[in-house]
A and B are shown apart, each in its own frame.
Chain A
């Protein structure tokens, strides 16, 4: 279980994450929503070690990971994908996967053998199949479509066999149809892989349709957390976010 305890981070005078406490039980699927600048990405950055929190704890199965480096946190089982696909543009899909498995098996510093190591094959193959990238294995990452690059980014996180998978806007920059295909994929992964998934999403239709639990962030604080029905009827959320979404966008 991933437990966040009183997590806080300020940039100058701005409290980007302000006393956030949340539980993500094993195997849960949670959506994080909130207006622009609500601190969603900062929240992810604090959990994964990209930023160091000012105070608070990030407990994964009871071990506090707050303030540790990204490589350490990854090794404890928190994987992430990025809002803008973060991939290795000159490597092929297959090389990317094999190299990531090498990193996870702590053989990324091996000098005396040839890449790829035989023991990395199965896992790389499995995840490529899972995300439908197997047919594009010899394509260089830079030449993939936007959607496939996002899938490759997720594949990179998934191939490390994380306990918790954090997806920062998996559907960012996609057309309506592509969005649904991506989110179906996310849901399918969650169901088949039995991992804890937390994702940031802007499309309310998607969020209310697939997420059993929703967390609403606003100005770095938790505005509300609960089931889609609870969130939909929460007056604070309607005031701050849902009801005035268009007014907010205009301003």
Chain B
């Protein structure tokens, strides 16, 4: 709930002076959110709830990073899930084969993701809308089939089995459920804070200009291709982070993590939560996972239910939930001023 309220406040405060104050406010909100999340295990012994939050962390990082592309830059990637899968597999493989400390594997995975994203991005970001969407999807399928067919290295359709070793580092033991939970929350909050900074930086406004009118942006001296490539790589890094949280959570990696449906779910989450507010995808993540968990409990036809829900958001509200809430508040705000 604190996140919901924070999202509202951020959309209402006009971008005026006090850019620095805004940053302090974001950090403050992040600290409070972390404190609330991290203290949850003190009040509840429910493993299911903590698991739910860990999954929200993984998907939330992934979905919010996708929003940097879709919502802020207007790049609709249908293959963003490849970096989620890449993160999970790279991290898992490094831990299994090299046995390095977890922070080292974490950084190495980010580096690997950056290399892949730079190469794939350099090819894709030149393409326009639908072509961009399809070629990113093609790369996703390429990575997925590589994982399937390179069975000696990746375990093929069985995935990375045998568990991911989780040696203790800095007193943090990720095989301990509460430790894993708090670490996931910390990664989520840090990731969100970093992405928020990107969105509100001068570069973030460059992205908005490109989304609105890329041709005009280039007539202001902006190298559109370079800016798109930069955000493509940055978004990939956060998606990869989400994949690592997922790999730690399930202690493994499976081909489904790199399948196109992950990208589809990312788009779905963004449609549910909304792309015009920073926390929209986070709200969407919670909604989707809640829906998934409750609906699958009642029916095996959960695809139909999810389809109906997305149709309601797409055709009924014509926007995501948080977009809807933000708009409603700003209308009320304007009406209040008119009086």
Contact = CB atoms under 8 A, between A and B. Distances in A.
Interface in B201-260: 201-206, 208-209, 211-213, 215-223, 226-227, 230
Contact of B20 (A88, A89, A114, A160): A114
A114 B19 contact: yes
B209 to A, nearest CB: 5
19 contacts: A50-B215, A70-B219, A71-B221, A71-B222, A71-B223, A86-B213, A86-B216, A95-B15, A99-B202, A99-B205, A102-B202, A102-B206, A108-B203, A114-B22, A114-B200, A116-B19, A116-B202, A117-B202, A156-B220
A92 B202 CA distance: 15
Interface residues of A, number: 40
Contacts of B226: 109
A86 B215 contact: yes
A2 interface: no
B219 A111 contact: no
B179 interface: no
Contact of A112 (B20, B201, B227): B201
A191 to B, nearest CB: 25
B209 A88 contact: yes
Contact of A111 (B201, B212, B215): B201
A50 B220 CA distance: 13
Interface string A46-89: 00101000000000000000000111001100011010001111
Contact of B221 (A50, A110, A160): A160
A194 interface: no
Interface of B: 14-15, 19-20, 22-23, 197-198, 200-206, 208-209, 211-213, 215-223, 226-227, 230
B339 to A, nearest CB: 19
Given A90-B212, A113-B202, A104 B221 contact: yes
Contacts of A90: 208, 211-212
Given A88-B209, A89-B212, A138-B14, A111 B198 contact: yes
A115 interface: yes
B208 A74 contact: no
A92 B200 CA distance: 15
Contacts of B220: 71, 74, 100, 103-104, 156, 160
A107 interface: yes
A160 B219 CA distance: 10
Nearest to B226: A109
Given A71-B223, A74-B219, A109 B202 contact: yes
Given A74-B221, A104-B221, 13 more contacts: A50-B215, A74-B219, A80-B219, A87-B213, A91-B208, A99-B205, A103-B206, A103-B222, A113-B19, A114-B20, A114-B23, A115-B200, A160-B221
